[in-house]
Amino acid sequence: MILPISAHFAFALPLKPTQRQAQIKQEKALIDAELEQRWQHVWRTYDKSSQESKKAERYAQEQCDLLRTLEDLAATERTMYELDNHKDQIMTVFKLALANAVMWMWNPMQA
């Protein structure tokens, strides 16, 4: 952690130019190290943001494709009609009754 400049120099004694340059290099190295860490964090955050943005775009595209497909299906949909089975059931009963009557008339003695 880097302290403000005033905290570094609050108790500093007058230094020789070579000592001052060494101290400046040391502080610059500390500042550069922290800046490097912060830039790495910025780039990681930017990469994650880009990935999430691409994912959101992909989901939006998939949703548009799905809606387009549903609209196409609705446009080509054919009407379904309900079958009326009552007439078929009545006809089946009459056919069975007729067949039984014919069989009874041919073999009246066996009944």
| Spans of all domains in the chain | 17-77+84-106
pLDDT at res. 109: 63
The arithmetic mean of pLDDT across residues 74-93, rounded, is 86
Query: Over the stretch 2-41, which tens digit does the pLDDT of each residue have?
Result: 555 555 555 556 778 888 899 999 999 999 999 999 999 9
Q: Would you say residue 100 has pLDDT above 60?
A: yes
Cβ–Cβ under 8 Å, residues 31 and 2:
yes
- Dihedral angle, C-alpha 42, 46, 52, 57, nearest 10 °: 160
Query: Over the stretch 51-69, which tens digit does the pLDDT of each residue have?
Result: 999 999 999 999 999 999 9
Q: Would you say residue 96 has pLDDT above 70?
A: yes
For residue 79, name the pLDDT band (cuts at 50, 70, 90). confident
